[in-house]
């Protein structure tokens, strides 16, 4: 019978994984971290493959045959001998209405076990309802399949016995009622005759008249009393409950009478009338008669769902759960940068509490519970308070309180209960922590933590499920051998399938594009070390000796290398000289979590004196954090179409107090005082040391080449007047050293084009064609204009010179522009989903003002002017595929060996078989014989001899009996005697022919 | 009894009397009326090659008996078909039936499986295996073969081994036979 498997308990088992996965997706979407999606995907795949295994496990062959005794008594256990063939670990229920008569978990493979079953009520079972439950390797979702197993003979369950006193002699045992008279010592029956006295006769039995008459001691002899044969009639009633009480009472009476040594006759109604009373010699007999009685019987149809036993004392699942939770907590704490003491307490506290509770066993340590309750209340309180405190409600601002709450919950949970379900709950908390860690961590170590967490979680789930199965009523295995092998094979295959599914899922995940990134994710600012800049609004940097130096006020001469190194890049100072080129190193400066690449701008330069760029003299406005709104800036244009971009900067190495931001920043989240300068450059009042975290919200204008071109220029288009805005006069100022040939060149390049965008484009193209990028470009000679020297003498330069040339050329034709410095986007870390910015990504570019869209960056150094890569492109798999391609390219000559081996393997197997067949024709004959037996419908076991097989074939297909027996004995002759193998083959051939031509 | 069963001799007062060859020891057991008898010790049981339950005669045989075809009247009509010497030679010939090493290994595996079965208190002895081999050889001869097959071993394993198994106290010979069959079902048969 094929019956579909259905979910057994679509409750917590389904909802909880969905909640956990949903939680992970939410974290991943908020933070744009691929790592979270990988973890979520792997977990979801593990759950899904578990469900598939459970469904196939219950849908596959589960053969159950039941040998039941003839008679049982309600409420008393009987032994069922059950043969089951299970391909997966299942739980089998034998039902009895709304009651489970027996539940056990058979070993894998084919087994006969003795199962204790207790039926609740009187009934005659011709067949037993059997429910098979299976939950896959992780036990999260139980599936069930129902069927009925027909018994060889009906199982009669007698009523539960109502204890009764033995019917007193001479008592009137009415219709199912207790004897009415009892107590007085009565004679056992009617007077019958007298007989000689013998030992044991009561003195009161002496019949004195006869004794006197005969002179001999004579006693009364009593006729065996009619009451000694207790006759019980069960009244038929239409009320099922009354009928049950009556039958129970009857069973009790019978038992009491039997115990008193009475003969019993039992009369119960069958087919509506009371037939002849049947003699009963044992309580089983009474049970059988009463079970089959035609009395009203009520069996409820409802059947209870399976719930795994709750009690959990085993150490392994608990230990694995703690490991999983521990790894998740470790991943989070590493990301949050908690003080080592707190971290150590949290990481040591978890296992210690779990161990204490495990040791305590059933006794709940009251003090521990009180402490953990206090911890939880504290965590909740802190969570609520911090929620009220922060102005910005987002996941990131709550991260410390959220993690504290989760950890407190996990610890308290570990302390408060011993149950298996709660272990799953704590695994769920761990999953939330792990996903959170994936969302907030930006370093590659997070991947290892999460991988460890993932493995520990799956192992813990599997261990919990195993202990769940083990806790189901143990069975008395009549024949448990070969179990170990089957178990190992089967669970091995399960593991292979689950792992395979996850590998496939991860492979699929790698080609799914990396998520676009944070929609609204404000990580709270973190300033591990405050080293205030001594001068207000100044640029400062922290030197390795701890001293904070201010740009432009060198402590030991103008070209102090230590000071220069502290700023990291010449353009991160108050002014920078075009003839000096810093050599930033390859070390990681910061990681930026952002949905798209952009220039991480540090500051802009306004004034150029022919050699040096200078920042604006205006100090701007001081705003105290942690939330720094950035008001009106120079060159702002209202009503520009924009899109918001959140960036979180994780500083890895000491940098000056420049706060980097994509143009144009509108809000900064940094717990420090910040000078907001009119060009949008942000200067904190402290240098930013390694470990600093801050978030910037930027509003980027969405532009296209056409949109820029449409804005015309000072001499063309509808916006001519705006181009000549006096507020921007300082962005068209040229240095006095600017040469005429520079101006002429500017006009020569740009005059053919009416619109500013095309003019910029033309200059960039000219630069690309006529200038070479060269880090070792010659420095301009003293006194010469650097741009003139670059454009007409050396024609070689680096990004600062190239972008300065662009700005000067533009200013020569009256286009407002300025020099910008900061970092290029860096490389995208596909796992963490962050941009990794190295020292050598320090960069300078130009910004050109447009009347409708404001300041627009142009990078003449790059071939693509507007930005680096476009947003969210690429996938996790791309670098992997590239890496594989690279490795494959190198290893191609060596790869031929395993590939050839794999290709040759089937050939090798075939050859080996053939060789063996050649060497031993008897072996070939044996194989053909077994195959023929299978064709004849006979299962070939490893323990079946050819003789046995032949005789089974003979029974099943008599026409081929002789041929089968001849073939079997011919093979045996060849193998064990000195027979001719060719004769064996001939005999097998004859057998095969007989089989093929049988009617 | 042990000496007679094993060595074919009886020692009385230091004097060893050899029993005539061939010597066959048969013991019978009635299912009822066993009051006053003692069960045989395990060591003694192990000396018996086979334990068979004959049961009642079949309907045909019973009819023959009732029709007078059998009974004491026919005893004089029984004639010798062989001599003791010939029988002894036949017995010796049985010992020379070829037995492949794979079959011996099979028997060893059967003995081993019985010793590891959880419901067996005492597994089979080597003597049991030896008896099984001899029985299988005899069956091969009766089947007209000069070699032993796994089928011979399987056919005689229950009859030849079950009575040697020591099970739980309340287990009878039937339980032992069933268990022996289970053991046989787990042991791989030698194949080509």
Nearest residue to A498 via CA among A79, A875, A90, A139? A139
A5 half-sphere exposure, CB direction, 13 A CA radius:
24
Q: Among A143-152, A160-169, A595-604, which is the least confidently predicted range?
A: A160-169
Task: Kindly state the average pLDDT of the residues A207-231.
Answer: 72
Q: What is the pLDDT of residues A158-201, one digit of tens each?
A: 888 888 776 555 444 443 333 333 333 344 555 667 788 877 77
Q: Which residues pair with A982 in a beta bridge?
A: none
CB distance A876 to A42 below 8 Å? no
Nearest residue to A64 via CA among A30, A26, A92? A92
Tell how far CA B139 is from the center of its chain.
Answer: 12
Q: Which residues pair with A123 in a beta bridge?
A: A157
Task: Kindly state the average pLDDT of the residues A269-297.
Answer: 72
C-alpha to C-alpha distance for A47 and A53, rounded to whole angstroms: 10
CB distance A830 to A34 below 8 Å? yes
**What's the pLDDT at A172?**
44
Q: Is A860 exposed, middle or buried (0-12, 13-18, 19+ CB in 10 A)?
A: buried
Q: What is the pLDDT of residues A870-906, one digit of tens each?
A: 334 455 556 666 666 666 666 666 667 777 888 888 8
Q: Is A120 exposed, middle or buried (0-12, 13-18, 19+ CB in 10 A)?
A: middle
Chain B residue numbers touching A978 (CB-CB < 8 A): 98, 146-147
DSSP 3-state assignment of A62? coil
CB distance A974 to A983 below 8 Å? yes
β A575-577/A627-629 pair status = unpaired
C-alpha to C-alpha distance for A583 and A31, rounded to whole angstroms: 33
DSSP 3-state assignment of A813? coil
How far is the CA of A975 from the CAs of A981, A983, A985, B103, B112, in angstroms? 8, 12, 12, 10, 24
Task: Kindly state the average pLDDT of the residues A370-394.
Answer: 64
C-alpha to C-alpha distance for A528 and A938, rounded to whole angstroms: 78
Shortest Cα–Cα distance, A113 to chain B (Å):
13
Task: Kindly state the average pLDDT of the residues B78-107.
Answer: 89
Chain A residue numbers touching B188 (CB-CB < 8 A): 942-943
Per-residue DSSP letter, A281:
-
Q: Which of A972, A984, A987 should be substituted to probe chain B, the one whose Cβ sees the most B Cβ atoms within 10 Å?
A: A972
Task: Kindly state the average pLDDT of the residues A810-834.
Answer: 84
Task: Kindly state the average pLDDT of the residues A123-134.
Answer: 85
Per the CB < 8 Å rule, is B154 touching A948?
yes
Radius of gyration of chain A (CA): 46
DSSP 3-state assignment of A312? coil
How far is the CA of A48 from the CAs of A321, A430, A571, B45, in angstroms? 21, 20, 54, 60
Q: Which of A109, A926, A977 should be substituted to probe chain B, the one whose Cβ sees the most B Cβ atoms within 10 Å?
A: A977
Q: What is the pLDDT of residues A642-694, one digit of tens each?
A: 777 888 888 888 888 889 998 888 888 888 889 998 888 899 988 888 888 88
**What's the pLDDT at A917?**
64
**What's the pLDDT at A123?**
85
**What's the pLDDT at A184?**
32
Shortest Cα–Cα distance, B52 to chain A (Å):
21
Q: Which of B144, B151, B180 should be substituted to probe chain A, the one whose Cβ sees the most A Cβ atoms within 10 Å?
A: B151
Q: Which residues pair with A621 in a beta bridge?
A: A676
Chain A residue numbers touching B191 (CB-CB < 8 A): 923, 926, 975
Nearest to A976 among B103, B154, B185 (CB): B103
Asked if the peptide bond before residue A634 counts as cis, ω within 30 degrees of 0, the response is: no
C-alpha to C-alpha distance for A318 and A426, rounded to whole angstroms: 10
**What's the pLDDT at A481?**
43
How far is the CA of A530 from the CAs of A567, A621, A683, B101, in angstroms? 17, 21, 14, 87
3-class DSSP string for A253-291: HHHHHHHCCCEEEEECEECCEECCCEEECCHHHHHHHHH
Cβ-based neighbours of A787, under 8 Å, separated by 6 or more: A610, A738, A742, A801, A804, A805, A808
Tell me: pLDDT of A500 over 90.
Answer: no
Q: Which residue has the tokens 């009395």?
A: A295
Nearest residue to A691 via CA among A659, A653, A717? A653
Nearest residue to A467 via CA among A459, A479, A478, A477? A459
DSSP 3-state assignment of A803? helix
Most confident of A285-289, A411-415, B84-88, B129-133: B129-133
C-alpha to C-alpha distance for A90 and A69, rounded to whole angstroms: 24
Q: Among A760-769, A824-833, B179-188, which is the least confidently predicted range?
A: A824-833
Per the CB < 8 Å rule, is A975 touching B103?
no
Phi, psi of B123 (to 5 degrees): -75, -170
Per-residue DSSP letter, A227:
G
Nearest residue to A246 via CA among A390, A122, A366, A399? A122
Q: Which residues pair with A669 in a beta bridge?
A: A627, A695
Q: Which residue has the tokens 């089957």?
A: A486
What average pLDDT is seen over chain A? 77
Q: Which of B96, B137, B151, B192 should be substituted to probe chain A, the one whose Cβ sees the most A Cβ atoms within 10 Å?
A: B192
Q: What is the pLDDT of residues A503-514, one digit of tens each?
A: 777 777 666 655
**What's the pLDDT at A203?**
79
Task: Kindly state the average pLDDT of the residues A562-571.
Answer: 76
Instruction: Count other Cβ atoms within 10 Å, centred on residue B33.
Output: 7
Tell me: pLDDT of A38 over 60.
Answer: yes
What pLDDT band is residue A413 in, cutting at 50, 70 and 90?
Answer: low
DSSP 3-state assignment of B31? coil
C-alpha to C-alpha distance for A804 and A763, rounded to whole angstroms: 12
β A6-7/A143-158 pair status = antiparallel
Per the CB < 8 Å rule, is B154 touching A968?
no
Q: Which residues pair with A118 in a beta bridge?
A: A77
**What's the pLDDT at A183?**
32
Instruction: Find the helix or strand (DSSP H, E) in which A80 lies.
Output: strand A77-86
Task: Kindly state the average pLDDT of the residues A714-719.
Answer: 78
A816 half-sphere exposure, CB direction, 13 A CA radius:
20
Tell me: pLDDT of A479 over 50.
Answer: no
DSSP string over B55-95: -SPPHHHHHHHHTTSSSGGGGGG---SS-HHHHHHHHHHHH
Query: What's the maximum distance between 2 C-alpha atoms anywhere in chain A?
Result: 171
Q: Tokens in use for A683?
A: 């200067």
The chain B residue lying nearest A981, using CA atoms, is: B192
The angle subtended at Cα A258 by Cα A257 and Cα A261, nearest 5°, is 90
Task: Kindly state the average pLDDT of the residues A397-416.
Answer: 66
C-alpha to C-alpha distance for B137 and B98, rounded to whole angstroms: 8
C-alpha to C-alpha distance for A543 and A654, rounded to whole angstroms: 9
Per-residue DSSP letter, A792:
I
Shortest Cα–Cα distance, A63 to chain B (Å):
19
Task: Kindly state the average pLDDT of the residues A222-230.
Answer: 54
Task: Kindly state the average pLDDT of the residues B44-60.
Answer: 87
Phi, psi of A249 (to 5 degrees): -65, -40
Q: Tokens in use for A44?
A: 């979801």
What pLDDT band is residue A860 in, cutting at 50, 70 and 90?
Answer: confident
What pLDDT band is residue B107 in, cutting at 50, 70 and 90?
Answer: very high
Instruction: Find the helix or strand (DSSP H, E) in which A222 lies.
Output: strand A218-222
State percent of chain A over pLDDT 90. Answer: 4
Q: Tokens in use for A552?
A: 């432009």
Q: Which residue has the higher pLDDT, A279 or A251?
A: A251
Task: Kindly state the average pLDDT of the residues A584-606.
Answer: 86
Chain A residue numbers touching B144 (CB-CB < 8 A): none
C-alpha to C-alpha distance for A134 and A113, rounded to whole angstroms: 19
How far is the CA of A851 from the CAs of A637, A699, A732, A764, A804, in angstroms? 7, 17, 15, 21, 22
Per the CB < 8 Å rule, is A925 touching B149?
no
Asked if the peptide bond before residue A766 counts as cis, ω within 30 degrees of 0, the response is: no
**What's the pLDDT at A491?**
61
Q: Tokens in use for A830?
A: 């596909």
Task: Kindly state the average pLDDT of the residues A417-430.
Answer: 72
**What's the pLDDT at A864?**
34
Per the CB < 8 Å rule, is A941 touching B185?
yes
β A796-797/A772-773 pair status = parallel
Q: What is the pLDDT of residues A320-333, one digit of tens each?
A: 888 888 888 888 87
Asked if the peptide bond before residue A325 counts as cis, ω within 30 degrees of 0, the response is: no
C-alpha to C-alpha distance for A176 and A401, rounded to whole angstroms: 71
Nearest to B145 among A478, A923, A977 (CB): A977
State whether residue A923 sits within 8 Å of chain B by CB. yes
Q: Tokens in use for A185?
A: 């010592």
CB distance A126 to A151 below 8 Å? yes
Q: Which residue has the tokens 């999606």?
A: A37
Chain B residue numbers touching A479 (CB-CB < 8 A): 182
State whether residue A107 sits within 8 Å of chain B by CB. no
State whether residue A945 sits within 8 Å of chain B by CB. yes
Q: Is A327 exposed, middle or buried (0-12, 13-18, 19+ CB in 10 A)?
A: buried
Tell me: pLDDT of A390 over 50.
Answer: no
Q: Which residue has the higher pLDDT, A241 or B90?
A: B90
Q: Is A613 exposed, middle or buried (0-12, 13-18, 19+ CB in 10 A)?
A: buried
């Amino acid at each position: 019978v094929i019956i579909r498997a259905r979910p057994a308990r679509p409750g917590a088992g389904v909802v909880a994984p969905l909640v956990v996965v949903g939680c992970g997706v939410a974290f991943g979407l908020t933070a744009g971290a691929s790592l979270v999606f990988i973890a979520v995907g792997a977990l979801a795949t593990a759950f899904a493959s578990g469900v598939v295994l459970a469904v196939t496990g219950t849908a596959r062959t589960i053969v159950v045959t039941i040998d039941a005794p003839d008679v049982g008594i309600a409420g008393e256990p009987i032994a069922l001998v059950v043969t089951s063939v299970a391909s997966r670990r299942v739980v089998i229920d034998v039902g009895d209405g709304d009651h489970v008569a027996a539940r056990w978990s058979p070993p894998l493979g084919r087994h006969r076990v003795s199962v204790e079953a207790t039926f609740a009520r009187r009934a005659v079972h011709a067949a037993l309802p059997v429910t098979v439950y299976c939950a896959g390797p992780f036990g999260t979702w139980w599936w069930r399949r129902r069927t009925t197993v027909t018994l060889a003979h009906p199982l009669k369950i007698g009523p539960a016995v109502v204890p009764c006193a033995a019917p007193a002699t001479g008592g009137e045992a009415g219709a199912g009622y207790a004897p009415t008279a009892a107590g007085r010592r009565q004679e056992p029956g009617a007077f019958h005759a007298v007989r000689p006295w013998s030992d044991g006769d009561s003195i009161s039995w002496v019949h004195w008249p006869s004794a006197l008459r005969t002179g001999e001691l004579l006693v009364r002899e009593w006729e065996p009393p009619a009451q000694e044969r207790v006759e019980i009639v069960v009244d038929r009633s239409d009320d099922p409950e009354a009928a049950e009480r009556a039958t129970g009472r009857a069973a009790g009476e019978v038992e009491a009478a039997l115990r008193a040594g009475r003969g019993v006759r039992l009369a119960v109604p069958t087919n509506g009338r009371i037939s002849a009373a049947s003699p009963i010699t044992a309580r089983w007999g009474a049970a059988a008669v009463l079970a089959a009685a035609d009395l009203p019987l009520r069996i409820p149809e409802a059947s209870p769902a399976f719930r795994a036993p709750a009690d959990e004392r085993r150490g392994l699942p608990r230990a694995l759960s703690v490991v999983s939770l521990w790894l998740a907590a470790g991943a989070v704490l590493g990301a949050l940068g908690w003080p080592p003491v707190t971290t150590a307490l949290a990481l040591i506290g978890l296992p210690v509490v779990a161990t204490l509770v495990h040791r305590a066993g059933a006794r709940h340590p009251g003090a521990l519970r009180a402490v953990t309750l206090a911890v939880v209340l504290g965590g909740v309180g802190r969570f609520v308070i911090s929620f009220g405190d922060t102005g910005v409600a987002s996941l990131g601002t709550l991260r410390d309180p959220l993690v504290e709450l989760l950890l407190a919950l996990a610890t308290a949970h570990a302390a408060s209960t011993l149950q298996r379900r709660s272990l799953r709950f704590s695994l769920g908390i761990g999953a939330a922590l792990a996903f959170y860690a994936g969302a907030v961590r930006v370093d590659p170590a997070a991947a290892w933590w999460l991988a460890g967490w993932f493995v520990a979680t799956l192992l813990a789930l599997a261990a919990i499920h195993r202990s769940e199965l083990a806790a189901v009523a143990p069975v008395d295995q009549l024949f448990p051998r070969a179990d170990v092998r089957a178990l190992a094979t089967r669970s091995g295959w399960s593991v292979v399938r689950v792992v395979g599914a996850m590998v496939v899922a991860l492979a699929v995940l790698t080609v799914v594009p990396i998520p676009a990134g944070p929609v609204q994710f404000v990580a709270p600012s973190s300033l591990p070390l405050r080293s205030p800049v001594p001068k207000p609004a100044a640029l400062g940097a922290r030197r390795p000796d701890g001293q904070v130096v201010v740009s432009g006020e060198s402590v030991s001469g103008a070209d102090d290398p230590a000071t220069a190194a502290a700023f990291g890049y010449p353009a991160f100072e108050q002014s920078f000289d075009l003839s000096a080129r810093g050599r930033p190193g390859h070390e990681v400066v910061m990681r930026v979590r952002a949905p798209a690449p952009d220039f991480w701008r540090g500051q802009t330069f306004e004034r150029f004196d022919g050699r040096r760029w200078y920042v604006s003299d205006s100090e701007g406005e001081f705003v105290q954090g942690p939330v720094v709104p950035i008001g009106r800036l120079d060159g702002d244009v209202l009503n520009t179409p924009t899109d918001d971009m959140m960036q979180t900067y994780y500083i890895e190495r000491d940098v000056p107090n420049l706060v980097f931001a994509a143009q144009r920043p509108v809000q900064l989240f940094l717990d420090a005082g910040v000078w907001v300068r009119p060009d949008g450059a942000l200067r904190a009042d402290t240098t930013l040391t390694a470990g600093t975290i801050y978030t910037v919200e930027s509003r980027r204008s969405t532009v296209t080449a056409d949109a820029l071109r449409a804005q015309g220029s000072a001499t063309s288009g509808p916006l001519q007047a705006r181009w000549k805005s006096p507020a921007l006069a300082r962005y068209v100022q040229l240095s006095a050293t600017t040469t005429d040939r520079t101006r002429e060149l500017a006009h020569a390049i740009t005059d053919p084009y009416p619109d500013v965008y095309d003019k910029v484009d033309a200059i960039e193209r000219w630069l690309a064609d006529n200038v070479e990028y060269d880090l070792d470009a010659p420095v301009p000679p003293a006194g010469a204009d650097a741009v003139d020297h670059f454009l007409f003498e050396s024609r070689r330069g680096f990004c600062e010179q190239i972008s300065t040339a662009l700005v000067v050329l533009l200013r020569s034709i009256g286009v407002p522009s300025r020099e910008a410095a900061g970092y290029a986007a860096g490389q995208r870390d596909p796992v963490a989903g962050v941009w990794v910015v190295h020292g050598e990504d320090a960069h300078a570019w130009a910004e050109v003002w447009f009347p409708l869209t404001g300041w627009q960056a142009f990078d003449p150094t790059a071939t693509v002017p507007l930005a680096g890569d476009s947003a969210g492109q690429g996938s996790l798999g791309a670098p992997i595929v590239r890496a594989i391609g690279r490795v494959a390219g190198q290893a191609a000559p060596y790869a031929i060996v395993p590939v050839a081996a794999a290709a040759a393997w089937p050939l090798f197997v075939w050859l080996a078989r053939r060789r063996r067949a050649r060497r031993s024709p008897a072996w070939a004959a044996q194989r053909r014989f077994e195959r023929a037996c299978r064709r004849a419908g006979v299962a070939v076991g490893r323990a079946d001899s050819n003789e046995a097989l032949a005789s089974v074939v003979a029974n099943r297909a008599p026409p081929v009996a002789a041929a089968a027996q001849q073939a079997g004995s011919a093979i045996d002759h060849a193998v064990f005697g000195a027979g001719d193998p060719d004769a064996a083959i001939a005999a097998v051939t004859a057998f095969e022919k007989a089989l093929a031509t049988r009617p | 009894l042990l000496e007679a069963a094993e060595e074919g001799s009886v020692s009385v007062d230091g004097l060893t009397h050899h029993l005539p060859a061939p010597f066959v020891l048969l013991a019978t057991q009635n299912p009822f009326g066993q009051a006053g008898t003692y069960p045989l010790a395990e060591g003694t049981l192990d000396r018996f090659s086979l334990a068979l339950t004959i049961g009642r005669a079949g309907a045909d045989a019973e009819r023959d008996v009732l029709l007078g075809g059998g009974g004491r009247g026919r005893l004089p009509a029984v004639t010798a078909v062989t001599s003791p010497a010939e029988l002894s030679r036949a017995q010796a010939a049985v010992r020379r039936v070829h037995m492949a090493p794979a079959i011996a290994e099979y028997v060893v595996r059967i003995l081993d499986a019985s010793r590891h079965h959880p419901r067996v208190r005492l597994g089979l002895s080597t003597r049991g295996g030896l008896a099984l081999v001899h029985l299988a050889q005899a069956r091969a001869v009766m089947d007209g073969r000069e070699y032993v097959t796994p089928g011979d071993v399987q056919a005689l394993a229950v009859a030849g081994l079950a009575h040697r198994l020591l099970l739980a106290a309340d287990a009878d010979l039937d339980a032992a036979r069933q268990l022996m069959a289970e053991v046989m079902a787990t042991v791989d048969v030698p194949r080509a």
